[in-house]
Amino acid sequence: MTVLRLADQAAAADLGGYLTRLLRYDRRAAVRVRAEGSVLGTFGHPPFGEAAEGVITLRASELAEPASLDATVSAGQLLDAIADDASVAVPASVTGPGWVGMLPPRTGWERIAELAVLDVARTVAGGVAEFRAETEPGMPRADFDRIAGAIWSRPIADRLPLRAAHAAQVFGFLGPPDAEARVEVLRAGSWLRLEAPYGSVSVRRAGAPGLLFTR
């Protein structure tokens, strides 16, 4: 059994918070965990249908000591494995969904835009309000998906679909309201990434094959 040691209790709490949010929406969620050197990356996919098509979320955690690991595990079991001393006994691997097997380049990222966190949060709030106004309980699933697709595919910073910013908001990556906080939009080939204060969200550009992992 592989045991990872996170840098401190704060790193353990951050990872636990990320997993808890993911499990709130999907109790059977799987995550891909990759440790390289002193960084652990935990990747997930929000189960929001059209609101998260092609989206991969990433929470990076600092490790107390270098490690090497690449595995797909149950998000619930990983959460349960976080101990009080900030160690993590990595659970047994599971067969994950298709997105866990698609790895993009981890280098070559170029910054293409910088945005204020407050502006991003306001744009997401506007999308949520519009979705609620245009939907109602009992609507056919196809109508929900059509409305969601129209709203969350809208670009911000000219290219990044709004669904990426929505995921960053839902998972707490934007952090608390802060007039000084910024996010970056990065590009690598056919991929785009929103780098936020507390995590990153990646999404393939229209027409690109596969999904994106970062770091």
Give the residue-averaged pLDDT of 56-71.
94
Mean pLDDT score of the chain: 89
Confidence of residue 103 (pLDDT cuts 50, 70, 90): low
Residues 41 and 8 in one domain: yes
How many helices (H) does the chain have, and how many strands (E)? 5, 10
Burial of 142 from C-beta contacts in 10 A (0-12 / 13-18 / 19+): exposed
Residues 95 and 130 in one domain: no
Task: Kindly state whether residue 215 falls inside one of the protein's structural domains.
Answer: no
pLDDT given at position 52: 64
Instruction: Judge whether residue 215 has pLDDT over 60.
Output: no
Residues 56 and 19 in one domain: yes
pLDDT digits (tens, 9 = 90+) for 21-62: 999 999 999 999 999 999 999 999 888 765 567 789 999 999
For residues 85-115, one letter each, b for 16 or more C-beta atoms within 10 angstroms of the residue's C-beta and e for the rest, the string is ebebebbeeeebeebbeeebeeeebeeebeb
For residue 60, the SS3 value is: strand
- Give the C-alpha separation, 81 to 1, whole Å: 12
- Give the C-alpha separation, 187 to 196, whole Å: 14
Predicted model pTM: 0.88
Confidence of residue 1 (pLDDT cuts 50, 70, 90): confident
Instruction: Judge whether residue 163 has pLDDT over 80.
Output: yes
Residues 90 and 125 in one domain: no
- Whole domain around residue 97: which residue ranges? 3-101
Q: What is the CATH number of the domain that holds 95?
A: 3.10.150
pLDDT given at position 62: 97
* Total number of domains constituting the chain: 2
pLDDT digits (tens, 9 = 90+) for 205-214: 655 544 444 4
